[in-house]
Amino acid sequence: MATEEVSKPQSLPPYPEMIFAALDSLDEKEGSNKSSISKYIESKYGDLPAGHSTLLSHHLNKMKDSGELIFLKNNYMRPDPTAPPRRGRGRPRKDPNAPPAPKKHRAAEPAAAPAVSKTGRPRGRPRKVKPEMAQTGVEGN
């Protein structure tokens, strides 16, 4: 047997580290797009796995979802540490661990008594008087 040294393939750093290194070295003001990040990684690390583009896409999406990267106008960039956190659109979700709010019971209010404002008039629009009721003065349902 020959005592040849079998060269091991160089172990690659994790994809997030390679992505951060690419963003730091490219140092573009508007951020770097996926193809420029991929070209930098290919030029620096050489032997990459066969599914490099798929792995890169997966890690970019994962880092974008976790907040490690910002995706703006088809470019990826690191978030500004002094910037306030961004809120999503719409109403925030309810906390599932919060205790339920106490329910208000309407049975305690008298149903027949109309609410009267400070001016002495009842709330809302007055009832429309029908012509036959106006002559007799009798109000019916």
Work out the angle between the directed axes of helices 52-66 and 15-26 (0-180°, nearest 10).
Answer: 80
Q: Is 75 helix (H, G, I), strand (E, B) or coil?
A: strand
d(CA 65, CA 57): 12
Q: What confidence score (pLDDT) does residue 129 get? A: 86
CA nearest to 20, candidates 54, 63, 52: 63
* Structural domains in the chain plus CATH codes: 15-77 (1.10.10)
What is the separation of C-alpha 71 from the centre of its chain, rounded to a whole number of angstroms? 13
2-6, 12-16, 133-137: which range is least confident on average? 2-6
d(CA 123, CA 115): 6
CA nearest to 36, candidates 75, 79, 78, 67: 75
Residues in contact with 76: Cβ distance below 8 Å, sequence separation at least 6, in sequence order: 19, 23, 31, 32, 33, 34, 37, 60, 64, 69, 70
The string of pLDDT tens digits covering residues 83-99 is: 777 677 888 888 889 88
The string of pLDDT tens digits covering residues 9-55 is: 568 888 999 999 999 999 888 899 999 999 999 999 888 888 899 99
What's this model's pTM, rounded to 2 decimal places?
Answer: 0.53
Has residue 8 got a pLDDT over 50? no
